Structures are given as C-alpha cells and as structure tokens.
C-alpha cells in the first residue's frame, strides 16, 4: 500500500504567509503569498477555493530561490511544477508562491498537498524585511510578470529580504475616489483588503489589518506615492497635510524603523522633457518630520532615474528594464546609506 500524501491545512503554523490575507484565507494586494520549507519535496498540489480569481490568478513560483516562473492557478486542484522529481532523499527545499497581478490577484487557499515522504519544516524569515507603499509605479502595472518585475520586488530579492508591497494602481494617498479606487492609500493601507474589495461581490467590505501578523516586523519602510494625487488636482499644501498625517500614523506602528520617502521621478516624454509634479514637496514633508524630532526619515531623490527610454511609450510607466534600472539605483542608494545585502537567506538550502 502506497504511503499517503502529506496534506497541509491552510492554518498550519509552519506555512509562512506574507503580504495580506483575509480570514478565508485569501490574498489581497499584489505580491501576497506564502513560503514553505520542505524536506524531501517532489511534488506540490495547490488546492484553491471558490474565491480565487476566475478564470485564474497568475501565481509566481520559485524553488530554492531560483527566478519566479508563472503558473495560472484557478479554483480547484493545481499541480505546481517544482523540478524536484530527481531530488535526493534528505534534500531540503524552499518553495515560494505569490500572486503577481496588480489586479485579479486573489487566491483562496484550501490546502496544500505534498508528496508522500515529504516533511514540512519551519521557515526562518530573513533578518531584513522591507515594507513598500505606493501606487501603480510600485505594483508592477503593465509588466508581463506584474509585481515580480517591479522595482520593490527586485530590491527585496537583491537584499535577500522579506518584502511586502502594499501598492494600488490608480490610488491617491489622499482618501478619495481615484481611477476606480474607492479610497486612498492613507485609508486602505490600514485595511486587509486592497481597493478591489469595492468590486468584489463576495467580499465588498473592509477589515482592519492586524499589523502584529507581519512577522518579522518590517525593518525598513519605503514610500513612493503622489502621482495620482497630482492627477486628481490635490494641491501642494493638501498633499503635504495628508502625507504628514500618514507618516504620523505610520510612526505609531513603525516607531523606530528608517522611512525612505521617494521624490517623484516624473513623467518622461518623447521630446526629452520629464514633466514633474509636487516639486520640492516631498523634501518639505521630510523636513517637517525632522523638525518634530524624527531622526530616522530620509529623502530619496530620484531625479533623473527614469527617462523616456525606460518607460512604455503609450502609458509612460516604467517597463521591465526600467524597473530593473530603478531597483539598481535604489540598491546603490541604500548601500551608500549603509544597508548591505545579506549574504544568505534566512532559510538556507
């Protein structure tokens, strides 16, 4: 009689959930997912419930820190290719799974089935953990691989860090309706759900996010936002006010972590000009925090980081190489600031 497969319930504490999951459990926000540390892994079946995006959600899968490959996962049983069929007995593996899309990115986890003989081990997270906050310019909108090609994701990977990307395309920081978003990030960041909840007939409500669920607590906070506020006509003074209040509220959660505030890199044009917005405003916001005694907030000047050669011509959002360029420039900025990439991941294989 063949040995039974290993069924992992969706509430198993050895599953390392990252990003934002509701009680079902189901994902919200781009990049949310989970990690598994497995002994003797050969195969994995991802069983998803009926709240999974139909007809499918694009899911990124990485085995042993290799580049992520896309699997289209739908409600029901999904065989996830691991490439471990010939793995030797006693081999440990790290399997990382996340939703890629900036929209249509909900997976509803029923359970996970591993091959017989597999053993689920605890996952030890990295000592570094980034929290990125933003809009389409951070969520990977228009990229073929979604958030997995976006500069925040690439930075997190390069530093061998845990990383959560709480970014919503079209959203303002100001709490207002904007490009299909019912709320701004200053409201939505403190909720489990992204603003897609507004269009979800099975989940058209919000629940407060329990920040104690972020394990480990983020060590570094990065914010790049304001493009949609400018498009919606929010004044310089109004933006300073809402950003300042947002930072004050963040400091009730992240009391001592470094906060990095990006200036806008602007909208590049084919004529060589880069059209800016909120010129000098982000510096003013940072200086106001410093005047209040906050010594752990820093301005990241992104002037010149993005040119027309780095964007999709029809929507002037950074393309794949553009995001890679931004990630490289921010990595260099962080290293000059004093943060170095880790030599190994928290869970090694």
What one-character-per-residue DSSP string does 114-157 give? E-TT-EEE-----S-EEEEEESHHHHTTT-TTGGGGSHHHHHHH
**Do 71 and 78 form a contact (C-beta atoms < 8 A)?**
yes
Which DSSP symbol is given to 198?
G
Alpha carbon 144 to chain centroid distance? Answer: 16
Q: How far is CA 233 from CA 47, 99, 341, in A?
A: 45, 32, 39
Q: What are phi and psi of 38, to 5 degrees?
A: -130, 135
Residue 83: CB atoms within 10 A of its CB come to 12
Q: What pLDDT was estimated at residue 2?
A: 56
Q: What pLDDT was estimated at residue 1?
A: 45
**Do 140 and 150 form a contact (C-beta atoms < 8 A)?**
yes
Q: What pLDDT was estimated at residue 86?
A: 87
Q: What pLDDT was estimated at residue 215?
A: 85
d(CA 16, CA 34): 5
The parts of the chain modelled with pLDDT lower than 50 are 1
End-to-end Cα, the chain, rounded Å: 31
d(CA 70, CA 184): 30
The whole-model pTM stands at: 0.97
**Do 300 and 261 form a contact (C-beta atoms < 8 A)?**
yes
Q: What pLDDT was estimated at residue 30?
A: 96
Query: Tokens in use for 27?
Result: 């994902």
Domains and CATH numbers, the chain: 6-121 (2.60.120.260), 129-337 (3.40.50.1110)
d(CA 78, CA 65): 21
Q: Is 243 helix (H, G, I), strand (E, B) or coil?
A: helix
d(CA 287, CA 247): 12
**Do 211 and 253 form a contact (C-beta atoms < 8 A)?**
yes
């Amino acid at each position: 009689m063949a040995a039974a497969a290993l069924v992992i319930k969706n509430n198993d504490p050895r599953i390392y959930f990252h990003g934002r999951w509701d009680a079902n459990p189901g994902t919200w926000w781009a990049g949310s997912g989970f990690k598994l540390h497995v002994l003797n892994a050969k195969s994995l079946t991802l069983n998803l419930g009926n709240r999974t995006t139909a007809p499918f959600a694009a899911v990124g899968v990485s085995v042993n820190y290799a580049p992520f490959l896309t699997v289209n996962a739908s409600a029901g049983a999904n065989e996830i290719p691991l490439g471990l069929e010939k793995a030797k007995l006693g081999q440990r593996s790290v399997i990382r799974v996340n939703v890629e899309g900036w929209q249509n990115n909900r997976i509803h986890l029923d359970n996970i089935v591993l091959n017989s003989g597999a053993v689920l081990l605890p996952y030890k997270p990295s000592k570094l953990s980034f929290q990125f906050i933003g809009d389409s310019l951070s969520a990977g909108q228009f990229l073929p691989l979604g958030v997995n090609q976006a500069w925040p994701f690439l930075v997190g990977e390069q530093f061998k860090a845990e990383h959560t990307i709480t970014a919503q395309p079209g959203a303002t920081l100001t709490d207002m309706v904007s490009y299909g978003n019912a709320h701004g990030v200053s409201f939505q960041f403190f909720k489990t759900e992204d603003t897609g909840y507004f269009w979800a007939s099975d989940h058209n409500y919000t629940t407060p996010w329990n920040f104690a669920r972020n394990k480990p607590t983020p060590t570094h906070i990065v914010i790049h936002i304001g493009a949609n506020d400018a498009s919606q006509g929010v004044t310089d003074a109004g933006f300073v006010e809402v950003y300042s209040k947002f930072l004050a509220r963040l400091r009730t959660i992240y009391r001592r972590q470094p906060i990095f505030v990006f200036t806008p890199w602007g909208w590049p044009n084919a004529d060589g000009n880069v059209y800016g917005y909120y010129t000098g405003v982000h510096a003013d916001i940072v200086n106001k925090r410093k005047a209040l005694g906050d010594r752990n907030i820093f301005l990241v000047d992104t002037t010149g980081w993005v040119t027309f050669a780095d964007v999709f011509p029809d929507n002037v959002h950074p393309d794949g190489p553009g995001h890679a360029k931004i990630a490289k420039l921010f990595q260099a900025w962080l290293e000059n600031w004093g943060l170095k990439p880790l030599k190994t991941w928290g869970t090694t294989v």
